[in-house]
Amino acid sequence: MRNYPHPLIAKEGWHYLAASIALALLVHALAGALWALPLWLIALFILQFFRDPPRPVPAGEKNVLAPADGRVIAIEPAFDPWLAREALKISIFMNVFNVHANRAPVDGVVMQRWRHAGRFLNAALSKASEQNERCALHIRTDDGHDVTCVQVAGLIARRILCYVGPGERLSRGQRYGFIRFGSRVDLYLPPEVHVKVGVGMKVYATTSIVAELP
């Protein structure tokens, strides 16, 4: 495993979790368990949303790993607007019950990062890739392959967190960002990649192999 140990509850959720537990405890003490039950359920939801378990990294330098937990909603030829090239796009939709930490799909160097303000449409819609708030990374592998990894905000997600920038090196499975409360990640890959997943499949960040580079 790489990039561990780190907290099993994502640091992005600590203050949400602390506030929800404090409020539930207060209501529990003042009004009793029945009144506090909805608040305990909210605290439990927040706890599961911000979980961030360790993930083993599969062997194989040419493997492209899933950058997020979720369901594959698109595998299609597409124009990569960030690198102005023809590409194969793989889109992964994260619902509120998925782990929302984002992880590097390949080993490589971050060549560029873009942030684009936009709307907050349902992330499952195809037009979300073009219209929603998003943050894109251009990663170049040691073999010279270009991979674009795009964090896309969703209907409820209002904040995209990305912790890396140009010049930084990423290892496959390395935690590099987080999106709060439902979203998607788009991968733009070289057209000649060998796809390892299908539309509708559930994938898990780092442990699932979504494609193989040529």
Catalytic positions, please? 183
What is the bridge-based pairing of β-strands 146-153 and 85-94? unpaired
∠ CA 161-85-101 to the nearest 5 degrees? 20
DSSP H or E stretch at residue 208: none
Find residue 183's DSSP bridge partners: 94, 153
Nearest of 186, 78, 79 to residue 128 by alpha carbon: 186
**Three-class SS state of 82:** coil
Write the single-letter amino acid at 33. Answer: A
